[in-house]
Amino acid sequence: MTEKHDAVAPLTRLTEDEVIFRDSVYEFADKEIRPLVSEMDEHAKFSKALLGQLFDLGVMGIEVPEQYGGAGATFFHSVLAVEALSRVDPSVGVLVDVQNTLVINAFVRWGSDEVKQRYLTRLSADTVGAYCLSEAGSGSDAFALTTRAVEQGDGYAITGRKLWITNGNEADIFLVFANINPEAGYRGITAFIVERGTPGFTVGKKEDKLGIRASSTCELLFEDCVVPKANILGDVGKGYKVAIETLNEGRIGIGAQMLGIGQAALDHTVKYVKERKQFGKAIADFQGVQFQIARMATDLESARLLVYNSARLRDAGLPFLTEAAMCKIVSSEMAERVTSMAVNLYGGYGFVRDYPVEKLFRDAKIGQIYEGTSNMQLMTIAKQIMG
């Protein structure tokens, strides 16, 4: 760490206001979301009524300035909200994460005053957003996208196919990346705002996933979908900057989701080992079990410090690229280890759906894949360290 980063490190501790905010979000999740978790997972469908409650709670527009109807809070508050929600259901956590750390983040940073007035007011009030970058041949190589946008009068006609788009079913505003000049490579990529219902735009198949099943992951189809030039976010040909900078922050959001998963696994496991009896006493009394719980807690806290520090650096306007990559890889691997240990300590009960840790184990796996695989994070870290 550099000297200026060391100066920020103590800020990983929460203020009283931040604790109150985090706990209030968790209390909401525990009361309103927990009764819906099993059904949403089983049917792979997000509760429509729950969406309205999330907007009422104020977690769908955390960084939106108050003048546009948002909370006017910090990026760190978004991280706390995602963590708290993910302790109950990571599917809800990722919906809120994409809304705040990707979609709203991009609009706040790159939108003109007119675009902000038109879209931030909706995103903070009642409208879900989606971030549409990935394609069949463009995953880790994000800028190999083949979706094209051809100038047509006062607008652009978009043609192509996007895959694995989070919030695809719930969203009405889609931030779509397309190339207006393939010969220019990534310098032709431009970010377009596409609204549901625009002719030529269709939300396609919803993926049947291993985990975070209530979160919709869909394909998007564009066939001569014409959007006005006023719907370009940022400058023409600068979409790659929009993508890079928002994804760096989005990785911190995924780190927060993994924290929520890990915390939930630890909470459930501590409660279970105190109740489960073998050989005439609670298995929590066995030193081997205690050591495993201690490792789970240590892994979790280590990841939390990395995630929180990355978010603090971002809010302080300091470099955080390396820290964001570190926090994502560490937190996603932590979530897989901790949830796996939870299943082990539950024994046979951990392998059945009547108990909560089986779902957390499934939910954790995606953390090492989306918003930059673990190998891509290692590449980023190595490049930064080695110059």
Tokens linked to 35: 């009764």
Active site residue 42: no
The closest of 83, 30, 35, 39 to 59, measured between CA atoms, is 83
**305 CB-near residues (< 8 Å, 6+ apart):** 12
CA distance 122 to 103: 12
Closest CA to 284 of 269, 296, 297: 269
CA-closest candidate to residue 109, choices 255, 279, 248, 269:
248
Phi-psi region of 46 (alpha: psi -120 to 50; beta: other; left: phi over 0): beta
- By the 10 Å C-beta count (0-12 exposed, 13-18 middle, 19+ buried), 338 is classed as buried
Determine the Cα–Cα distance for residues 51 and 111; give it in Å rounded to an integer: 25
Three-class SS string for 267-288? HHHHHHHHHCEECCEEHHHCHH
Which contiguous run of DSSP H or E holds residue 158?
strand 155-166
User: Which of the following is catalytic: 170, 249, 336, 371?
Assistant: 371
Q: Which residue from 196, 211, 300 is spatially nearest to 255, judged by alpha carbons?
A: 300
CA distances from 319 to 2, 50, 78, 331 (A): 10, 36, 19, 20
Query: Which are the catalytic amino acids?
Result: 371
